Amino acid sequence: MNSRNETFLHSVLLIGTVDTKPDELAFLRDCIVDAGGRAVIMDVGVRDHKHFAVNITNREVAAAAGLTLEQVAASADENVAMQAMTRGAIALTLKSFRECRVHGVLVLGGTMGTDLALDVTAALPVGVPKFLISTVSFSPLIPPERLAPDLMAILWAGGLYGLNNLCRSSLRIAANAVLGACRNATPVAPDRPIIGISSLGTSALRYIIALKPALEQRGYEVAVFHATGMGGRALESLAAQNRFVAVLDLCLQEVANDVHCSIVTAGEDRLENAGRMGIPQIVAPGAIDMIDIPSWKAPPPAYAGRARHTHNRLIASVVSTAPERRAVARTIARKLTSSRGKVKVIVPREGIQEWDRKGQPLHAPAAHQAFVEEFISALGPSVDVAELDAHINDVQFTDAVMTTFDDWVKQGIIPQGVAESSVRLSQV
């Protein structure tokens, strides 16, 4: 045991099922202690035991969910039982962080433990170190909407039943990674109001080149989210935590992908959380004309013969048809009309990503016109819409976005930015 005073040790909340993984949890505990930290073990297993000392018992976890351990264990459905333990684990994890008794969390599990881990880590604020050791890390079984935006994970290779040299390596890496993060993490406390912006790389969408410095000059911190599935997931997670003073959701390709059942999705609630929280939104339909597919496998038969842009060896995009774009238009309109905050929609009539310009492989002006007509009709009078005779990558578009932004600041819809001099003074 490390001889340093535990008051000054960084503590890792170590969560797992003691009834099935005692050796693994003991190994992780020892790794953390040997590295100069402290392990606080929470047992989320449903079977009673006396052979392993823990800091937070499974009875306490069950009680935090309003049940006895016997009631949980008596469930005929192990999924129902684990969901009950998940509720208790979330409550006790948040309590431990509020009381500053732990500084990070490390969860170990197969599919059951991973199911629990996703909810526990998603409940924690951004900036709290959170690490998952799972037999299904990075698996398509894990829906993107359940991932915390700063969750770290490692594949638990060869470790389903007991210890071996292969899985010890993964466990040791995870233990030291989360402890190192606990020692070096700082709370997410920006000194300027944050603006969230969705985009793609500048080969497809270039507005960010002008927008980011313009917003920074006005005293805002700008967070840009890569709209290739996980970026949109992070944007939605942070919007749900009310982290932004405004969202410039100018690339909605993930919404289109979700409508078309692409694997490149940010979840069903994409484009909903800012509106649900009343955060002001400036929205444009950037890149909704593309359907993303993995470039490392043959495209679905339905897309055979379509114009295609292969971006790299990971991702490619096929052009969508007019009926497909009309369906996307209705979905976007439905999400925006339910917003509780101010919404301004800017619709570029000349195109919505670089590869749809005349002479480019995804140029389909008739299909784009079909989208514009359906979109404006579906939005109705409840949403402020500006049609722009320009392309989304033209300067007229960025000017229109900033004109709306500046008007909203003047009206008090968006709070004022913080001057650079004020930031410097606050850091003294």
pLDDT tier, 69 (very low <50, low <70, confident <90, very high otherwise): very high
The residues that bridge with 42 in the sheet, in sequence order, are 15, 56
| 301, pLDDT greater than 80 | yes
Mean pLDDT of 250-269: 95
| 424, pLDDT greater than 60 | no
pLDDT tier, 422 (very low <50, low <70, confident <90, very high otherwise): low
Comparing CA positions, the residue from 396, 355, 349, 403 lying closest to residue 376 is: 349
Angle among Cα 346, 401, 390 to the nearest 5 degrees reads 55
Query: For residues 48 and 221, which has the higher predicted lDDT (pLDDT)?
Result: 221
Q: How far apart are the first and last CA of the chain?
A: 40
Give the three-class secondary structure for 286. strand
Q: Are strands 130-134 and 152-155 parallel, antiparallel or unpaired?
A: parallel
Condensed to tens digits (0 to 9), the pLDDT of residues 322-364 reads 999 999 999 999 999 999 999 999 999 999 999 999 999 899 9
Q: What is the pLDDT of residue 348?
A: 98
Q: What is the pLDDT of residue 425?
A: 47
Q: What is the pLDDT of residue 26?
A: 96
Which DSSP state fits 56?
B
Distant-in-sequence, close-in-space partners of 199: CB < 8 Å, separation ≥ 6: 205, 207, 208, 224, 225, 226, 227, 250, 251, 286
Condensed to tens digits (0 to 9), the pLDDT of residues 155-175 reads 998 877 889 988 999 999 999
Condensed to tens digits (0 to 9), the pLDDT of residues 7-26 reads 468 999 999 999 999 999 99
Which DSSP state fits 301?
G
pLDDT tier, 5 (very low <50, low <70, confident <90, very high otherwise): very low
pLDDT tier, 269 (very low <50, low <70, confident <90, very high otherwise): very high
The domains of the chain, with CATH numbers, are 6-184 (3.40.50.12020), 194-411 (3.40.50.12030)
pLDDT tier, 2 (very low <50, low <70, confident <90, very high otherwise): very low
Query: Could you tell me if 21 and 54 are in contact, meaning their C-beta atoms sit under 8 angstroms apart?
Result: no
pLDDT tier, 427 (very low <50, low <70, confident <90, very high otherwise): low
Distant-in-sequence, close-in-space partners of 262: CB < 8 Å, separation ≥ 6: 291, 292, 293
Q: What is the pLDDT of residue 421?
A: 54
Give the three-class secondary structure for 315. strand
Give the integer Cα–Cα distance in Å for 352 and 199: 11
Q: CA dist 75 to 17, 81, 168, Å?
A: 17, 6, 33
Mean pLDDT of 186-214: 92
Model-level pTM? 0.85
Condensed to tens digits (0 to 9), the pLDDT of residues 359-416 reads 998 999 999 999 999 999 999 888 999 999 999 999 999 999 999 999 999 999 999 9
| 144, pLDDT greater than 90 | no
Mean residue pLDDT of the chain comes to 92
